[in-house]
Amino acid sequence: SDSHFPVPLCPGQFDYSLHYPQLFPSSSNNGCVKKIQFADIGCGFGGLLVSLSTLFPETLMIGMEIRDKVTEYVKERISALRTTNPGQYQNISVVRTNSMKYIPNYFEKGQLTKMFFLFPDPHFKEKNHRRRVISPHLLDEYAYTLAVGGIIYTITDVEELGEWMESCLDEHPMFEAVSEEEVKADPVVNLLTSATEEGQKVARNGGKTFRAIYRRISPSSS
């Protein structure tokens, strides 16, 4: 249960020096300008973070994962990469948490520029839809956490879930669909399937995927 992992009381209490020791050698992030900008929600084994790390070496990123063993695996994976590639992979980390409850404890209003929800658990039964990581209520929280212009990436191999995520985003006043042109030009989009463990599995099995990529807009621009 949640009692097994510590949660910061507010974003200012999140200790950057524990997660990015080379970039924040001593104290916590109090007074530091640089903050986490990308969050991979339900990051699984961390493949996306590892790929994004070298693509955006100046950006701080975090994976959020609820399973203890999986989180430990990602920690060790990052630690090994840091050891074998000195100076690299310093900008990625992982935290064990329940993202459905604690996002506001980690990020301030408008802090994030990208959020990823890649191959989330489908929760098929109607009574379990409230457990889905994309929902009208949780989108309010994500809109709060994302900067205006920030992008939310979702992908799944479950058609019904894909339709659900797209319709939640479509109906939300703080999000608009990113145009096909922009999607094509965005170097991150291919990584949604090629860099994630789940995406690789779907590709191996020749499965279809369903993407919904949306931008956080300001209320007045809609």
Footprint of ligand SAM on this chain (CB under 6 A)? 42-44, 64-67, 70, 98-100, 118-121, 196-199
Which amino acid would we find at residue 9?
L
CB 56, min distance to ligand SAM, A: 18
Look-up: residue for tokens 């935290």?
95
Note the Cα 9 to chain centre separation in Å. 20
Q: Which is nearer to ligand SAM, 67 or 208 (CB)?
A: 67
Q: Which is nearer to ligand SAM, 162 or 217 (CB)?
A: 162
CB 42, min distance to ligand SAM, A: 3
In angstroms, the CA 5 to CA 80 distance is 23
CB 195, min distance to ligand SAM, A: 9
Active site residues: 121
Q: Which is nearer to ligand SAM, 109 or 131 (CB)?
A: 131
**What tokens does 148 get?**
């205006």
In angstroms, the CA 182 to CA 153 distance is 13
3: buried, middle or exposed (CB in 10 Å: 19+, 13-18, 0-12)? exposed
